[in-house]
Amino acid sequence: MTYHQLADEAKPPLAPVRQLTLRFSGTRRGARLARRLAVQQFTEWTGLPYDSDPARAVALVTAELASNAVRHGSLPGRDFRLAVLLLPDRFRVEVTDTRPERLPPPVTPEPVDEASGRGLLLVQAHADSWGCTIRDTYTKTVWAEV
């Protein structure tokens, strides 16, 4: 499991076999719909059952990234974007929000006594790799690969 703060420009990304991108409202309902859509596309594209371990990992990773975009990365009246990509050897979830100045904090394995704050630890546990990419001054994309 790796974390990359910025995109590794030296390594060209694999061309997606399939890709879907949609915008969702920056609300809890939008985050829930994004999770459901990601799992639906994953099961459709891979043929794996909805209750398989990889589908559950996609659901958890998408739920965390989308809820973080709503909670920490949204501005009033701004949507977030979900992109799901089926690559030759993995499934990639990308969530783009409108707060590039708010980067995800480094994940530490120490227990947190707070009621929240463990989402990225879960992403790290269920994703093969994850990170954050800033391509312009208006948005950031947090991604994870399962």
CATH number of the domain that residue 8 is part of: 3.30.565.10
In the 8-state DSSP scheme, what is residue 33? H
Q: How many CA atoms lie within 13 A of 53 on its CB side?
A: 3
If one counts the domains in the chain, the total is: 1
The three-state secondary structure class of 135 is coil
Map tokens 């992403």 to a residue.
Answer: 123
Reported as type and span, the H/E element at residue 120 is helix 119-126
Which residue from 129, 133, 49 is spatially nearest to 92, judged by alpha carbons?
129
pTM: 0.82
What pLDDT is stored for residue 19 in this prediction? 94
Which residue from 30, 134, 42, 32 is spatially nearest to 93, judged by alpha carbons?
42
Q: Which domain holds residue 21?
A: 2-109+116-145
What is the mean pLDDT of the segment spanning 105-133? 75
What pLDDT is stored for residue 142 in this prediction? 92
DSSP-derived pairing of the beta strands 129-133 and 2-4: parallel
What is the mean pLDDT of the segment spanning 72-86? 85
Helical H runs in 8-115?
28-46, 53-72
What is the mean pLDDT of the segment spanning 19-41? 95
